[in-house]
Structure 1
C-alpha cells in the first residue's frame, strides 16, 4: 500500500453533537458531573500531551517502557498481518512503537474524538509507515461506530487501548466497553489494553496533581470550553482542580470544585453552586491483576498474556475471547 493511499481522508462523525445536552443534564443532577471525554478539545488534547511529560505522571513513560522491552513478545502473540484498531489514539507515540514491532500489519484504524490530534498523528504515521493503510475515524469510540473498511484483508483485528483509559470508566461502563471491544475484534481477534495497577496511594495522587499545574489547567480548560461553545459565564477564578484518591473504590476522582457560592449560566440555564461543591469530571481506576481479569471475564474476555514493568506499576493485558483456546 503506497503512501498516497495511506493518506486517505479522515472520516468524521459529529463527536460533540451531544455536548450541550450532556453538560446541561450533568449540571442539573444532585451530584454534578460531566463526562470525561469532553476534556479533550484541541486545547485539552495539547495539555494532556504535556501531562504525559510531567515527572510525577508515571503511566505514560512506564507503558512506553513495556512496549519497547516487550514489543517482540507482543508481536509474536498477535501474529502477522493484523489490522490495528485503536480507541482514543492521541498523539500516536505508543502506536508508533506497536506498529514498528508488529509483523507486517496491513492497516491502522484510529478512532479519536479530537480532530486536530487525529489529523496530526495520522499524517506523521502515514509518512513513516507508507505500507500500512491508514483509515482514520474522528468519532467518540464509546458510541456505535461504522468503521471504514480496509482495502486489504487482515488475518485478525487487534484492538489497541493504551494509557489506562479504560480506568476512566466506572466498573459497569468499563465492562460494557470491553464487550464492545470483543465485538469489534471478532471471534479470532485480540485486544491490547493498558492497565494502571494498584500502588502507593501517594504516588498515584501525585500523578494527578503535578507541581507545574498542567493537570489543573487541563481540567479547568473544560470550563473555558463550555464558556466558548455554550455561551456560559463560568468565572475561571472561582473554581479549582481537585484530584483525590478514593482507597475504597481504588481510583482517583477528579472534580472541579467551586471556591464560593455562585450562580452560573450555561446555554441560557442557571445553575447554583454552593461553596465547596464539585463537578465530577473523571475517574482514574487502578486495578489488581486478578480484579482486571475478573472484569474482563464479565465481558466474555480472558487474559491471554500480560506484560508489566519490573516494579509492577503498570500492565499491558492481551485479551482474547473467553471461548478461544489459543491465539
Structure 2
C-alpha cells in the first residue's frame, strides 16, 4: 500500500492507494479463462474507455436502471437526506463518474463533512476528486484507489461523525446472492458505517431485460467487447474482436441477466503467453445482473447485518433505493 497526496487527486486529504491493478488483472484473467465456463470479473470492464462506454449505455433509451435511479434520487432527495443525519462521512464504493452522488450531495448540503470515493480506476478518481472539491468546497474529499470487492483501507485521519455507505447503480446485482451478502457484511465492518443507501434493480420481464443489456444501437456490445481490447493491450492478448459477438441471456431461475461474449468459430487465443482454446459457440461470461423484489433484498441484507428502514421506488416499480441501518 502506498499513499498519494491530496494534490494528486484534487482533494483535501491524503488518498490511500491500495491496489496493484496490473498484477491482479493478469491473475484474474488467466484464472477466469482456465475454468470450464470461461469468465471475466466485471470490474475489469471499467478501464478508461469502458467507463466512457458505460456512460453512453446510460443514455440509451432501453437502458432503464440509471434513469430510474436518478428519478428516485431526484424526487425523494430531501426525504432521503433528512433520514441520514448531520456531520456525515459519506463513503461511495465504486464511485465511477460520481453522477448520482451529486444529487445526494445537493440535497444533504452542509450535512456532509467528508466524501470518501473508492474506485479502482485511478484516473477517473482523480477527475472525480477535482470536480467534487470544486463544486463542494466545504466538503473534505478523501479518495481511496482500491478494489472494493476485496479488503481495502479507509483513510486513517477521518474526523468523527456518522458514516453512511452510498452504493448506487445496482452494483450489488453483479454478485451472486451469497457473494453479495458477504460483500455487504464486509463493507459494513471495513467502513464502520451506521447506514447504507443502496440501489437495487427489480425483477421484470425478459424482453425488457434483453433490450436493456443488448441495446439495438450496439453500445453494450462495444462495452462488453472492450474487455478483450484491454486484455490485448495490457496482457499481450491475441483476441480477434471480430470473432466474438455480445449476447444477453435471461436466466429466470437465478433471477438475473447475463452478458456473454460468444466465440463465432473454433480458435485459440493467447494471454500473457498462455493459450486458451475456444470451440465455436463457447462463451466468456463477463457480467451478471441479479434482480430482487424489495422484500427479497431486505432479507439478503439482513443476513449481512443490515436492517431495513425505508425503501423508495420509481413510479413504475422498476428500481428501488433502500435505506438500511447496521444492527
**TM superposition score category, shorter chain reference:** over 0.9
For structure 2, the 5+ residue unaligned runs are 1-5
The aligned residue for residue 194 of structure 1 is: 199
1:5-44 counterparts in 2 under 5 A? 6-8=11-13, 10-16=15-21, 17-44=23-50
The aligned residue for residue 53 of structure 2 is: 47
Determine helix, strand or coil for the equivalent of 2:254. Answer: coil
Using the TM superposition, give the Cα deviation of residue 137 of structure 1 relative to its aligned residue in structure 2, in angstroms: 0.9
Checking the alignment, whether the CA contact within 8 Å between 1:56 and 1:206 is kept in structure 2 is yes
Kindly provide the CA deviation profile for residues 47-101 of structure 1, in whole angstroms up to 9, marking residues without a partner as x: 1111111111111111111111111111111111110000111111101011111
Q: 1:185 to 1:148 in 2, by over 3 A?
A: closer
The aligned residue for residue 215 of structure 2 is: 210
Match of 1:56 among 58, 62, 65: 62
Match of 2:104 among 90, 98, 119: 98
The aligned residue for residue 121 of structure 1 is: 128
Match of 1:262 among 249, 252, 267: 267
Checking the alignment, whether the CA contact within 8 Å between 2:119 and 2:125 is kept in structure 1 is yes
Question: Root-mean-square deviation (CA), in Å?
Answer: 1.6
1:172-191 counterparts in 2 under 5 A? 172-186=178-192, 189-191=194-196
Q: Could you tell me how far apart the structure 2 residues matched to 1:169 and 1:15 are?
A: 22
Q: 1:64 to 1:275 in 2, by over 3 A?
A: same
The aligned residue for residue 309 of structure 2 is: 304
Q: Could you tell me how far apart the structure 2 residues matched to 1:317 and 1:84 are?
A: 16
Q: Aligned pair count?
A: 318
For structure 1, the 5+ residue unaligned runs are 323-327
Q: Could you tell me how far apart the structure 2 residues matched to 1:15 and 1:308 are?
A: 38
Q: Could you tell me how far apart the structure 1 residues matched to 2:258 and 2:122 are?
A: 27
Q: Could you tell me how far apart the structure 2 residues matched to 1:15 and 1:39 are?
A: 16
Match of 1:146 among 153, 169, 172: 153
* TM-score calculated relative to the size of structure 2: 0.94
Indicate whether 1:82 and 2:88 are aligned: yes
Checking the alignment, whether the CA contact within 8 Å between 2:196 and 2:324 is kept in structure 1 is yes
Q: Could you tell me how far apart the structure 2 residues matched to 1:6 and 1:269 are?
A: 41
Using the TM superposition, give the Cα deviation of residue 14 of structure 1 relative to its aligned residue in structure 2, in angstroms: 2.6
* TM-score calculated relative to the size of structure 1: 0.94
Q: 1:117 to 1:288 in 2, by over 3 A?
A: same
Using the TM superposition, give the Cα deviation of residue 106 of structure 1 relative to its aligned residue in structure 2, in angstroms: 0.4
The aligned residue for residue 286 of structure 1 is: 291
